[in-house]
Amino acid sequence: GAGVSQSPSNKVTEKGKDVELRCDPISGHTALYWYRQSLGQGLEFLIYFQGNSAPDKSGLPSDRFSAERTGGSVSTLTIQRTQQEDSAVYLCASSDRTSGRLETQYFGPGTRLLVL
């Protein structure tokens, strides 16, 4: 079956521009997560959506970052006024929360963002 997909796979932008990153989760998965991995670092949690509940935004590093999930499926992560320190791989994951709390998150291939 289809896994998590993300687009674009690579994005180069200039400092100060806005970018949008897209995630299509596995069909039927109710939970969706965004993480980022900076060079030499582990994955850092950004935001989490579960069904119709209010998202957990506690990992967003600044108010330049926002995300939405439309129709309980596709999600868009938006970074406004990008800075060079935003350069990272942005990873989306989804999980089937209905199977119980101890669910496994499945990751997409990521979007490599480079801010010049």
91 binds other proteins (CB under 8 A): yes
Rounded to a whole number of angstroms, the minimum distance from the CB of residue 96 to other proteins is 13
Rounded to a whole number of angstroms, the minimum distance from the CB of residue 27 to other proteins is 17
43 binds other proteins (CB under 8 A): yes
SS3 state of residue 96 = coil
104 binds other proteins (CB under 8 A): yes
- Our CB check for other proteins shows the closer of 35 and 65 to be 35
- Our CB check for other proteins shows the closer of 57 and 81 to be 57
Give the chain's end-to-end CA distance (angstroms, integer).
Answer: 37
- The number of beta carbons lying within 10 Å of the beta carbon of residue 115 is 19
Using CA atoms of 97, 101, 104, 106 in order, give the dihedral in degrees to the nearest 10: 30
Total count of residues recorded for the chain: 116
1 binds other proteins (CB under 8 A): no
39 binds other proteins (CB under 8 A): no
- Greatest Cα pair distance, the chain, in angstroms, is 43
Q: Which residue shows structure tokens 């030499």?
A: 40
Which residues form the interface with other proteins (CB under 8 A)?
A: 4, 6, 31, 33, 35, 40-45, 48, 50, 56, 59, 91, 93, 101-102, 104-110, 112
